[in-house]
Structure 1
Amino acid sequence: MRILLVEDDDSLAQAVAAVLSKQNYVVDIAADGEAGWELVTVCNYDLILLDVILPKLDGISLCRQLRQEGYKMPILLLTAKDSRTDKVMGLDAGADDYVVKPFDFGELSARIRALGRRGNSSLPPVLEWGNLRLDPSSCEVTYAGNVLHITAKEYSILELFLRNNQRTFSRSAIVDHLWGADTDPPADDTIKSHIKSLRQKLKAAGAPYNFIETVYGLGYRLKPDAKKQKSQESKEEPTPTQQEIFSAAVAKAREDFQAKVGSRITVLEQASNALKEGTLNSGLQQNAEQEAHKLAGSLGSFGFARGSLLAEKIESILQSQTPINQVQSQHLCELVTELQRELEKTTTDEQILSEQRQKMLLIVSGDRQVVEQLVKEAATQGMHIDIAINTADARSAIESSSPDVVLLDLDCSDEVKDSLKLLTELSNRTPPIPVLVFTDRSNFAERLEVARAGGRSFLHKSMPPKQMLELVIQTIQSISVSKTRVMVVDDDPQVLTLIWNLLEPWGIKLTTLEDPRRFWETLTEFSPDLLVLDIKMPHVNGIELCQVVRNDPYWSKLPVLFLTAHVTADTVDRIFAAGADDCISKPIEGAKLITRIFKRLELISKKT
C-alpha cells in the first residue's frame, strides 16, 4: 500500500514515515501542498495523509482540488487541536476521516486500516491465492501453512500481486508502486532478483516454481491455475511479531524526535530571552510561534502529553496581537523552562503502560462523535485501537487483528439483530471475545437480549468516555490469564499431559500432580489461583482433597473444578456438597475445559 504524507513538520513526518514503513507501507513525503499535488499527478497512491495547515497550498484546498479532479483515494486529515471548523471544512471538501494532533500512532494506524477496509470493501481481510495466504495485520505470509521468511520488499511485491491478482505488472510498474518518489529507482536486475528469491522461498514451502508467472514481454503475475488449489490448513492466530515491530518503531521515532527537538527549544529560548531584553522582533516572534505550534501538534504523539499542553500555552502568548507585557514575558520564560524539563523525563510512564499497549480494543460504531471521544481516551490509556463502522467491517477487523475486547454500538448496523448476532458469535468463540455494548436505548427487553447474547456490560452513550474505558480495562484485566496459576491433580499422566497442552499456550502457569499424597506440600508451595481435581484416585480421592481445602481458613475460598468420568446424580451431589465450584465430565473436551476455566478465572478477578 502506497501512502502520500503531506506534512510540513519534518520531524513528525519522518517519524510517521518510519513507523508506517515498519508496517510495510511505502511512504512518500511532501512538505507543502503544491509538492503534494505534483506527487499525486505522477504517482498512484492508495491513501493520502494530509495536514491542514501547510505552506503554499493548505490541506483543505488541496483536498478539494483532488476531489474536483476526480481522485478517489481515501484522504485522512491531520487537524490541529480543537479546530472544529477545519474538521467540518475538510470533510465537506471530500476528506474521508481525520485525526487530531497530537495523535497516538496506534490510533493513526487504526484509522489507516479502517480506511483501507472501507476503500476496498470487496477485499478480504486476509489475502489468499490458492495455498498462499498473506495476513496484512500480522504481516505473516504462509504457503500451505508453512511460514515464509521474506524481506519487507518481497512482502510488498506479494501484497501488490495479491491485491491486484488479475493484473500483470511490468518491472517499471512494480517500481512505481513500491519505491518512494525520493529514492533512486532500482535496476531491472534488482526486480528480477526479488522475484527469483520469492520463487525460491515459495518453492521451498511447497509451491510450484512458476507460482509467480512470467508473461513474456509484459511482466509478472500470479499463476491463474494456482488459485484452484485449496489449502487444508486451518487459520492461525496472528503472531504478536508485527505489534512488537510497531512498538519498537514508535520507540525509535520518539528517540529520534527527542534528538531533533533541541533546535526548536533553542528558538523558543531565544524568543523568551529577547522578550526579556526588549529586543524581540516580529521575525523571531513569528518563527518561535511556528515552532511552538509544531511542538503542540507533535509532542503528544511521542508520549509528551504535558509537553504538548505547555507548547500550546507558549504558542498562545506568542500569537498575541498586542505587545507582550512583563507578566506574560515572565510566564513565557517559565513555560519554556518547564517544557525543557518535561522533555528530559525518562520513559517510566511508557514502561508502566507497556503491558496495556499490547491490548487491542475494537470499537464498532458509526457514531463519529462518540468514537472520536473514545479513541482520544483510549490513547491516554495506552491501548492499541482498531475501528469498524458496521458489523461487516467488524468481522474483517476481528479476523485480522484479534482484539482482546470489543466495544459494540448496538445501533452500528441497520438492524439491532445484526449487532446481537455479532455479539453472540463473539461470545461463543473459544475462548470468547468479551463484548461491552453501548447504546442510546435503555429498555429492559434489549438489556435482556444483550445478556442472553453474552454481553459483558450494557452502557449508555451518555456515559463519560473515561468511565466507559475504565470498564473496558477492568474487563481486559478480569480475563487476563497470563499470570494465573492452576494446579491439576489426576493419577492419569495422559490426562495431565492433555490439560498441560491445552492451557500452557495461553500463558497459564501450571503444576501437575499424580500422587495425591503430596497434595498439601504442592498446594502450599505453588499457591494456585484455581484447583482442578480428579475424583477417583488411589490413596486419597478428589472429594477428600476438596474437603481438606475447604476446612482450612486460608484456602477455603480457593475455586475447585472437578473432572469426573462418573456423571451420576449422586456423584454430582457429593462433589458440590464437598464445596466444588464446577465439574466437567471425562473424556475431556478441550474447548469446553478452556471455556469453563476462563469463566471461573474471570469470576475470581471480579471478586478481587
Structure 2
Amino acid sequence: AQIPNLVAKLHQELQAPPKSFNYSGKTSNPCQHQVLSLLVVAEDESFIHPLQVEGMQTGIQVHGVTEIAAARTAISQQVPDAIFLNLDCPKFLKKSLTFLEELTAQYPWLPVLVLVGSDALSDRLEIVRRSRCQVLSKAIATHELFASIRELVDAKRLAATRILAVDDDPHVLATLQQLLSRWGIDLFTLDDSNQFWETLNAVAPDFLILDVEMPQINGIDLCQLVRSDRTWDKLPIMFLTAHQDAATIQQLLSVGADDYLTKPCTEPEIISRLGNRISRSRRICAQP
C-alpha cells in the first residue's frame, strides 16, 4: 500500500511546481529548464563540435551529421525539436533545397533554421520559396543561435494548437484565456461539465485541461470517459488541481492523466508543460 504513495510523492518532487501564480504580462522563457534536441546538418565536422560543447552547457542536445542522407535517417529514427542547416557552401546549398522542401511537407510544425554564407538575394529567395525556415546570417554568435532556436521552438510548439479547458471557476478560465492567447493558442473554455462530451466533439482539441473537483461530473470521471473512447483515448490530458496529497496525485495518474500542475501555478510552468506535451504528441504522430 505504501508503494503507490511513494511513486506519487516521487512524481510530485520531480514536477516541483512553484508555489505562486505570477502572471505579470511579461514574456517568459517557458523552456528555460528544458533540454532540447537539435539536429545540425553541416558539411564540415569542425562546425558541429563547438555547437555540441556549448549546447551541453545550455541545455541543448546537439546531434550532428555531414550528409543529407544521414539527416533523413536521423529524423526517421527520432524527430528532433529543431533542425539547423549550415548552407555556407554553395554546393551544399543546392543539395539541401530538396531536403528543405521535404521538411516543410512532412513536418510543417518542425522549426528549421538555415545559416547562409552570403547575403545574396537569389540564395535567400530560393530558400524561402522552398521552405518555411528562418534564415540566419553567418555573423550570428552561438548564444544568439541557441536563443533563436529556443524562441522558435516555443512558438512552433504552441502555435495554432486547440486546447479545451474545463473548470467551474470562471476566474481560472479567464486567466488561462489571457495567458494562452498570446502564444497563438486557440483556447476553448467550458464551465459546465455536463456539456463536456458534445463540446469535446465539436472543438476536437489537441490538448485537454481538466479541473479535479467540479459539480455534477468531476475531472477524474471526465478523464476516464476520454480514455475509454477509441477516438479520444490518445488525447493529452493535464489536470490543474489544488490538491497536493499523494492519494489524489496517484488517482490522477492511474485514470490516465499525462501530467498535472498544482494551483496556483506560474506562467512559465504551464507554457513549458503544454509545449512539451504537445511536441511529444506531434513527434509520436509523425513517426512512421
How high is the TM-score relative to the length of structure 1? Answer: 0.27
- Shift of the 99–510 alpha-carbon distance from structure 1 to 2, 3 Å rule, reads same
2-side partners of 1:360 and 1:593: how far apart?
A: 25
SS in 1 for 2:158: coil
2-side partners of 1:587 and 1:535: how far apart?
A: 14
- Whether 2:60 is the aligned partner of 1:383: answer no
Q: Structure 1: which amino acid aligns with 2:181? A: E
- Whether 2:281 is the aligned partner of 1:531: answer no
2-side partners of 1:602 and 1:590: how far apart?
A: 18
Q: Structure 2: which amino acid aligns with 1:502? A: L
- Whether 2:249 is the aligned partner of 1:497: answer no
Decide which of 102, 113, 137 is 1:361's aligned counterpart.
113
Contact kept in structure 2, 1:502 and 1:590, CA below 8 Å: yes
Decide which of 246, 249, 259 is 1:582's aligned counterpart.
259
Q: Hey, what does 1:418 align to over in structure 2?
A: none
Alpha-carbon shift at residue 482 of structure 1 (Å): 2.4
Alpha-carbon shift at residue 489 of structure 1 (Å): 0.3
2-side partners of 1:382 and 1:484: how far apart?
A: 18
Deviations 1:146-172 (A, max 9, x none): xxxxxxxxxxxxxxxxxxxxxxxxxxx
Contact kept in structure 1, 2:161 and 2:186, CA below 8 Å: yes
Alpha-carbon shift at residue 512 of structure 1 (Å): 0.2
SS in 2 for 1:533: strand
Deviations 1:386-435 (A, max 9, x none): 13567xx2335677xxx3x3xxxxxxxxxxxxxxxxxxxx5xxxxx655x
- Shift of the 481–387 alpha-carbon distance from structure 1 to 2, 3 Å rule, reads same
Alpha-carbon shift at residue 600 of structure 1 (Å): 0.6
For 1:430-441, list aligned pairs within 5 A: 434=153
* Larger relative contact order (CA 8 Å, sep ≥ 6): 2
CA RMSD of aligned residues (A): 3.8
Q: Hey, what does 2:283 align to over in structure 1?
A: 606
Alpha-carbon shift at residue 506 of structure 1 (Å): 1.3
- Whether 2:249 is the aligned partner of 1:572: answer yes
1-side partners of 2:115 and 2:259: how far apart?
A: 34
- Shift of the 382–530 alpha-carbon distance from structure 1 to 2, 3 Å rule, reads closer
Deviations 1:524-567 (A, max 9, x none): 11111110000011111100110111111111111110011011
Q: Hey, what does 2:142 align to over in structure 1?
A: 394
2-side partners of 1:396 and 1:556: how far apart?
A: 40
Alpha-carbon shift at residue 362 of structure 1 (Å): 5.7
1-side partners of 2:185 and 2:193: how far apart?
A: 22
For 1:57-456, list aligned pairs within 5 A: 361=113, 363=115, 380-381=130-131, 383-388=133-138, 393-396=141-144, 403=148, 405=149, 426=150, 434=153
- Shift of the 100–606 alpha-carbon distance from structure 1 to 2, 3 Å rule, reads closer
Alpha-carbon shift at residue 480 of structure 1 (Å): 3.9
How high is the TM-score relative to the length of structure 2? Answer: 0.53
Question: Which segments of 5 or more consecutive residues in structure 2 lack a partner in the other structure?
Answer: 1-87, 118-122
- Whether 2:258 is the aligned partner of 1:542: answer no
2-side partners of 1:579 and 1:397: how far apart?
A: 38
Alpha-carbon shift at residue 381 of structure 1 (Å): 3.1
Deviations 1:217-245 (A, max 9, x none): xxxxxxxxxxxxxxxxxxxxxxxxxxxxx
Q: Structure 2: which amino acid aligns with 1:500? A: Q
Q: Hey, what does 1:515 align to over in structure 2?
A: 192
Contact kept in structure 2, 1:483 and 1:507, CA below 8 Å: yes
1-side partners of 2:132 and 2:214: how far apart?
A: 48
1-side partners of 2:135 and 2:202: how far apart?
A: 40
2-side partners of 1:526 and 1:100: how far apart?
A: 47
1-side partners of 2:226 and 2:252: how far apart?
A: 13
SS in 2 for 1:557: coil
SS in 2 for 1:553: coil
2-side partners of 1:532 and 1:397: how far apart?
A: 33
Contact kept in structure 2, 1:361 and 1:386, CA below 8 Å: yes
Contact kept in structure 1, 2:157 and 2:275, CA below 8 Å: no
Contact kept in structure 2, 1:388 and 1:394, CA below 8 Å: no
Q: Structure 2: which amino acid aligns with 1:552? A: D
- Shift of the 395–521 alpha-carbon distance from structure 1 to 2, 3 Å rule, reads same
Q: Structure 2: which amino acid aligns with 1:383? A: C
Alpha-carbon shift at residue 513 of structure 1 (Å): 0.5
Q: Hey, what does 2:269 align to over in structure 1?
A: 592
2-side partners of 1:527 and 1:361: how far apart?
A: 31
2-side partners of 1:363 and 1:570: how far apart?
A: 51
SS in 2 for 1:593: helix
* Pair member with larger Rg: 1
2-side partners of 1:384 and 1:433: how far apart?
A: 9
Question: Which segments of 5 or more consecutive residues in structure 1 lack a partner in the other structure?
Answer: 1-97, 105-304, 306-348, 369-373, 406-425, 427-431, 435-474
Alpha-carbon shift at residue 384 of structure 1 (Å): 3.2
2-side partners of 1:594 and 1:601: how far apart?
A: 11
Segments of 4+ in structure 1 off by > 6 A? 374-377
**Identical columns (%):** 35
Contact kept in structure 2, 1:362 and 1:388, CA below 8 Å: no
Deviations 1:574-603 (A, max 9, x none): 001111000011002111000000001001
Q: Structure 2: which amino acid aligns with 1:386? A: L
Q: Hey, what does 1:506 align to over in structure 2?
A: 183
Q: Hey, what does 1:562 align to over in structure 2?
A: 239
Q: Structure 2: which amino acid aligns with 1:510? A: L
- Shift of the 386–579 alpha-carbon distance from structure 1 to 2, 3 Å rule, reads same
- Shift of the 398–388 alpha-carbon distance from structure 1 to 2, 3 Å rule, reads farther
